[in-house]
Structure 1
């Protein structure tokens, strides 16, 4: 039997056995297929969002790569699908999202594809997108159509169910599929989605803009100290002292109250005083992007977010041994202003006035919102197609402000008050961007989505576990997780309820 399966796998896993898919407006350039055997990879949940960690061992799959173009657009798109060798296929497809400016086929999506194949899913995705429109939406639908076609060609049947799993850029891609291609998928896990793309990327630079205007850049330990103080001040608002803020709306910590306080900077083993510049920069990262007259433009991360992570935070500074510090803006925000708005890679953002920054912010929204904004609130076609969507968003997300997900969910609710029947957003206190931080991570998000789609089991809560092994439930927005006053010393899933 095993010999027969190997023979069939080798025969089916060849370019000659796989016809070109049919995608309107596309011209296919090539198809490649190769049999992969004994492939193993440990896939931690940190790079497999919506899932628990999985140890993928001895995988056998057909790696199919299809290249196509849209004539007249001078673009090239590559779709790769990993097809588990029968009988390991579970008759489903799970498409894996990208991150940042990467659509897919980088280390995170490769890890996600390995995890998906280990669970029996066929897993497609795209890369090499030379046009923003392809990146924003067109390639997403192409990938799903191609994935389904290749599955049908290889197994002789289409997938019974088709899913999407992504976070950040991958979350935005999932939401875009629900908006523009409502019939493409049965279920979408679209966590911490980078929707409202122009506002997100324009706002990402705001704390740096504020520091530039002051001409003063506080030491990272000052910002860290203010973050710790805010968490300590607001931690117990929910009745549980666990080092996280469960109700950010009830937190009103004043960073100016600690100006002049002495703190110890552990990295340099020196004592310094918290400066006014630190309070101003921290307030900018907590209370939103503001115009020169104080009007609100967009959201910033909030009290819990790590503001000084060099890889992802918006208020990063770098200090020399003599104590002089400079701002270190994130490349994502800088590239947005230089390449997409100013279209000048030499543009110097450090000298912008607040008015110039406002013009930059609005210009990005005007030019790109309709292409990649991903903020269209009418999901009734996705609802009518029977689709289901789940998202979680960490309240300590340092990259994508959690209030952007709230704002979108409220906008969808305004169109359809019954949104809760097919789309649910879960807020995760203390959780950083997609994962990490002190908060609890809902590893079973994707499994909950599958149960909702296939068995009609509504996800009333998500179970989540923190690095400290403390467990809790997450409640669907706008409900909040409340501590049961009758609980004892042990705090777990049963210690909470939704209100």
Structure 2
């Protein structure tokens, strides 16, 4: 139920009342926010922060009001404290825009509300651009997903916290500035991308513009793929002196580089130019079989077991009857990048793996995605016939897979999807399939592109990084689309991995094609077709 309808809002500020609000100093206004009474909400801090450098960044932040609070505090199972904690930053020089900055993983921590977390590299934080920004911990504070033992905490994390924090933040914003925001945006990647899609589906009138990057929108299925990869690669990993497999050694860096180079040889030129990027992934039907060793294993070939394991990983998980349980993955040369190894294999030289898929994924499955929770479940014991059935119930609160965005369209909302084609955490092809289904449900490709566009990012891993071009400005793209009606016909991409190179990212299903003349390193010499 809408918090604004069910909760009487008592604004005890003398500043409430449009013009009167701005007559007070920024500091007085900010300090007074602790007196705003929202039922089930406690404002624990409201202080003015002077302009200065952003921590661990070259960016500078403007003077702003920092607000921290908690909504719906309660005590759950075993005396564990729950509540949707939030951080709201309100710049003194405001551009009239409000942004919800999406979270990551299974949340559990309130990230600084700067408007830059998990976004493509090189962009100015949205706070520094004049946006008011809010973040939340998703209703819990833990790092091992054990919040999932509490049924309400699961739902809070799935979508309820985003709902109530959005509404409370907008009320506090109105109290501070004396008026409501002109435009509202949700921008997130990974779990933040899932949250972004959730808002377009469950709360279609909350946001005018949404950016969903590398979205984990089918978490209940994507974690099955995590177990598939962990078990597939562990099965071929060399064993240590104790006879225990070492996951990180399933593929050496040389092995992955060999695969990467072979993918480029087979697929790079399919977009019309050999440039180190596979910009036409639909045409890439990579075959790793020619890399199989004819004799002993060496750095110039892969073993038959390695090839079989990589093909199995790319094909995605299935049950014993061959039924598909998730999605295929794209062959992208950035599988040789640090980010791909971090997620799939890790770097641990012991039998205890540190790959993200072997750690955070199994914890999430145990506590959040298996119903009832199964804290003792081991990755090696995951049953691909039985356990996926136990995970289906979690889709009701965690998945954002609906293609009914009709209410969002009626609201006038616009949404940008993007996904790194080398993402080792979430398959870019799963997002592509969702977009294709969305287009079918919303009247076809042309009709859908009037409010929703999907951009594939070759060479990028999860949200950023990889071997490609991972710097592009989605915030400017979504604000221009919402406020000026300028639909993004392309996004200009650059990246540290390819200095001096720029490319257009094209709305699916078009791809970047070289014109045949001009500098092939410059984006203007490419078109989307």
TM-score class, shorter: 0.7 to 0.9
* Structure 1 residues 109 and 168, CA gap change in structure 2 (3 angstroms): farther
1:315 equivalent in alignment to 2:344: yes
1:474 equivalent in alignment to 2:505: yes
Mark the runs of 5 or more structure 1 residues left unpaired by the alignment.
Answer: 45-53, 265-269
Choose 339-348 or 252-261, whichever is displaced more. 339-348
1:276 equivalent in alignment to 2:286: no
Q: What's the counterpart of residue 197 of structure 2?
A: 175
Q: What's the counterpart of residue 159 of structure 1?
A: 181
Q: What's the counterpart of residue 294 of structure 1?
A: 322
Q: State which of 107, 121, 131 in structure 2 corresponds to 1:121.
A: 131
**TM alignment of 1:6-405, pairs within 5 A:** 8-15=25-32, 18-21=35-38, 27-41=40-54, 55-57=59-61, 59-69=62-72, 75-85=82-92, 88-102=93-107, 105-106=110-111, 112=117, 115-127=125-137, 129-130=139-140, 131-213=153-235, 218-221=250-253, 222-260=255-293, 274-304=302-332, 305-306=334-335, 309=338, 313-316=342-345, 320=349, 328=355, 329-340=357-368, 341=370, 343-352=373-382, 356-364=383-391, 366-405=392-431
Structure 1: how far apart are the matches of 2:64 and 2:476? 22
Shift of 1:490: 3.7
User: 2:37 aligns to what SS in structure 1?
Assistant: coil
User: 1:357 aligns to what SS in structure 2?
Assistant: coil
Choose 139-148 or 283-292, whichever is displaced more. 283-292
User: 2:69 aligns to what SS in structure 1?
Assistant: strand
1:371-417 deviation line (CA, Å, top 9, x unaligned): 11110110010000011111211111121110111111112112112
1:250-291 deviation line (CA, Å, top 9, x unaligned): 222222321216999xxxxx8585212211221123222233
Structure 1: how far apart are the matches of 2:464 and 2:518? 28
Choose 142-151 or 71-80, whichever is displaced more. 71-80
Asked if 2 retains the 8 angstrom alpha-carbon contact of 1:256 and 1:279, the reply is yes
Asked if 2 retains the 8 angstrom alpha-carbon contact of 1:394 and 1:402, the reply is yes
Q: What's the counterpart of residue 14 of structure 2?
A: none
Shift of 1:310: 7.1
Structure 2: how far apart are the matches of 1:18 and 1:319? 51
User: 1:227 aligns to what SS in structure 2?
Assistant: helix
Structure 2: how far apart are the matches of 1:272 and 1:312? 19
Q: State which of 475, 478, 483 in structure 2 corresponds to 1:449.
A: 478
Structure 2: how far apart are the matches of 1:138 and 1:193? 18
1:351-377 deviation line (CA, Å, top 9, x unaligned): 44xxx223222321x211111111011
Shift of 1:99: 0.9
Structure 1: how far apart are the matches of 2:53 and 2:175? 26
Q: Give the total of aligned pairs.
A: 468
Shift of 1:65: 1.6
Instruction: Name the Cα RMSD after superposition.
Output: 3.1
Asked if 1 retains the 8 angstrom alpha-carbon contact of 2:420 and 2:462, the reply is yes
Please give the TM-score of this superposition, normalised by the length of structure 1: 0.85
* Structure 1 residues 110 and 159, CA gap change in structure 2 (3 angstroms): closer
Q: What's the counterpart of residue 494 of structure 1?
A: 524
Asked if 1 retains the 8 angstrom alpha-carbon contact of 2:102 and 2:187, the reply is yes
User: 2:125 aligns to what SS in structure 1?
Assistant: helix
Structure 1: how far apart are the matches of 2:403 and 2:111? 30
Structure 1 segments of 4 or more deviating over 6 A? 70-74, 261-264, 324-327
